[in-house]
Amino acid sequence: MKRIVLKHGEEDRIRAGHPWVYDNEVGKILDGFTAPSAGDPAPVVLLPGEVADVESSRKTYLGRALVNPNSKIIARIYSPSKEGMDKGFFKRRIREAVAQRTVGPSNYDLHRHSLRLVFAEADFLPGIIIDRFVGWPLNKVESAELESAVSLRPIMFEDAEAALGKPQSWIAIQFLSFGMDSRREEIIAALEEVLEQDGFIIPDGIPLGTSAGIVEKSAAKVRELEGLPLREGLIRGSFPAAGIVIFENGIPFMVNLIDGQKTGHFLDQRDNRRIAAAYAQAASAGKPVLRVLDVFSYTGGFGIHLARAGAAQVTCVDASAAALETVRINAGLNGLGDSITTVEADVFEYLRRRPAEELYDIIILDPPAFAKTRSALEGALRGYKEINLRAINMLKPGGILVTCSCSYALDEIRFRYMITEAAADAGKRLIMLDFRRQPADHPVLVGYDESLYLKCGFYRVAG
């Protein structure tokens, strides 16, 4: 086993829980198998994807890591002990991650709920993301005629189950590090064995069962930094061409794992959408026509929730025509008729062109990560501030701003300060109603701040 010995003083961040070793932190690389020989030993070279031990300059053991000498992140620690990386290891780790998700107040039921099963470093599987979607093929749901065209009633999970039987499941998987990418077959086999056989990890003891399809979504740009090509497509089973219907907070959504962005659906906003819907419900009780603007809407995650909660006019704005097509399908599944309007536009342009008299009761801002790295933060903050300032100006007195950022490089304090500045520039006073993060199936690893990435603030514009 090769040993990566850090330079003096470089171990503090790792001892605090951060799993990455950067190439400029490495003092020397030793070959653990060869006794020190006299004279100059041949330099030890790390091979992409191999496993090595990491030590401080004082030879304190820090953990076992996957290495990639072609990446700035030269090693990703996956275990504090000398644990090998084989199928048994993957099964153990996946089992632990799945079991974690069945406990606690979130009340996840893996037989019904779509969840992130593995969140990479934060589940001690560096560079692997696994989302599991539970539902039925869209065409089956549609042909079962569950929604009534007359009453425009939304489709319910129970109706679908009664008509179509138990839901199926599909997996979206991302391999984001070289070491994991080279072990993908082993990882998929381990995942399938855990889901098919390990009923004991689920409270009811019933195994989750075979996935109807596994779709690889390894198209994230970070793969290029690992020297990996972008890769997407079906790797096991099948995926319905028209997509599937999942239920989130009891609300049906069409998801297409093949064509969708990231893993197909942004599961991390599930709880924030539910809370936003609760605000809409409270507000619409006193107002017959609640107007909502959902910008960067993607497939309408927030907008559909708010319309279901009683918002009479919801405008979803996104640059992706495909996402907006799905918004319309979702409006249909939810019996929302014409309360949802879609607009294909660049959000910055769209907000700039709004007439001053166009005001809303609730505005959702859920942009993509503007700051993908720390060095991109300053420019990103200008973008965040611009959309927040414009949104604050477009809210009625008493209106609510739901504003998010999924850039890990933007911490909560700076995010809130950006909102403070935007409110000051708008000359408005804001009340912070709530400030939220990501849900429990996207765990946060203490010491690894990159894993605490989602911010979602709820603010009321003082009247």
CB of 368 to ligand SAH, least distance (A): 4
Indicate which single residue of 320, 385, 386, 416 sits in contact with ligand SAH (rule: CB under 6 A): 320
Tell me: does residue 346 bind ligand SAH (CB under 6 A).
yes
CB of 114 to ligand SAH, least distance (A): 13
Residue with Cβ nearer ligand SAH (25 or 366): 366
For 323-349, b/e burial (b = at least 16 CB within 10 A) is bbbbbbbbbbbbbbeebbbbeeeebee
Indicate which single residue of 319, 343, 359, 444 sits in contact with ligand SAH (rule: CB under 6 A): 319
Indicate which single residue of 32, 368, 398, 447 sits in contact with ligand SAH (rule: CB under 6 A): 368
Tell me: does residue 457 bind ligand SAH (CB under 6 A).
no
Which stretch in 65-73, 318-326, 371-379, 393-401 sits in contact with ligand SAH by CB under 6 A? 318-326
Indicate which single residue of 108, 119, 298, 360 sits in contact with ligand SAH (rule: CB under 6 A): 298
What is d(CA 363, CA 290) in angstroms, rounded to the nearest whole number? Answer: 11
Tell me: does residue 158 bind ligand SAH (CB under 6 A).
no
Residue with Cβ nearer ligand SAH (347 or 454): 347
What 8-state DSSP symbol labels residue 334?
A: T
Cβ proximity of 443 and 122 under 8 Å: yes
What is d(CA 387, CA 128) in angstroms, rounded to the nearest whole number? Answer: 32
Binding mask 239-278 for ligand SAH (x = CB under 6 A): ----------------------x----x--x---------
Three-class secondary structure of residue 404 per DSSP: strand
Residue with Cβ nearer ligand SAH (26 or 172): 172
Which stretch in 97-105, 171-179, 364-372, 453-461 sits in contact with ligand SAH by CB under 6 A? 364-372
Which stretch in 15-23, 119-127, 181-189, 313-321 sits in contact with ligand SAH by CB under 6 A? 313-321
Taking CA atoms, 223 is separated from 2, 128, 214, 252, 370, in Å, by 25, 12, 19, 32, 18
Tell me: does residue 370 bind ligand SAH (CB under 6 A).
no
What is d(CA 384, CA 418) in angstroms, rounded to the nearest whole number? Answer: 8
| Catalytically annotated residue among 316, 404, 406, 456 | 406
User: 316 an active-site residue?
Assistant: no
Three-class secondary structure of residue 401 per DSSP: strand
User: Could you tell me where the DSSP H helices lie in 134-183?
Assistant: 138-143, 157-164, 178-181
Tell me: does residue 347 bind ligand SAH (CB under 6 A).
yes
Tell me: does residue 318 bind ligand SAH (CB under 6 A).
yes
Tell me: does residue 302 bind ligand SAH (CB under 6 A).
yes
**10 Å Cβ neighbour count for 50?**
17
Residue with Cβ nearer ligand SAH (235 or 345): 345
Spatial strand order in the sheet of 291-295: 340-344, 313-318, 291-295, 360-365, 395-405, 455-461, 430-436
- Interhelix angle 301-308/321-333, nearest 10 degrees: 20
Residue with Cβ nearer ligand SAH (168 or 299): 299
Report which secondary-structure segment, H or E, holds 285: helix 270-286
- List beta partners, residue 66: 51, 76
Indicate which single residue of 90, 296, 415, 448 sits in contact with ligand SAH (rule: CB under 6 A): 296
Which stretch in 59-67, 138-146, 164-172, 294-302 sits in contact with ligand SAH by CB under 6 A? 294-302
**10 Å Cβ neighbour count for 431?**
11
Closest CB to ligand SAH: residue number: 301
CB of 308 to ligand SAH, least distance (A): 14
Give the pairing type, strands 360-365 and 291-295.
Answer: parallel
Which stretch in 71-79, 179-187, 298-306, 411-419 sits in contact with ligand SAH by CB under 6 A? 298-306
Which stretch in 3-11, 69-77, 171-179, 343-351 sits in contact with ligand SAH by CB under 6 A? 343-351
Cβ proximity of 301 and 253 under 8 Å: yes
CB of 354 to ligand SAH, least distance (A): 14
8 burial level (CB within 10 Å; 0-12, 13-18, 19+): exposed
Using only C-alpha atoms, the chain has a radius of gyration, in whole angstroms, of 24
What is d(CA 183, CA 211) in angstroms, rounded to the nearest whole number? Answer: 20
Where along the sequence are the contacts to ligand SAH (CB under 6 A)?
Answer: 261, 266, 269, 296-299, 301-302, 318-320, 323, 346-348, 366-368
Catalytic positions are 406
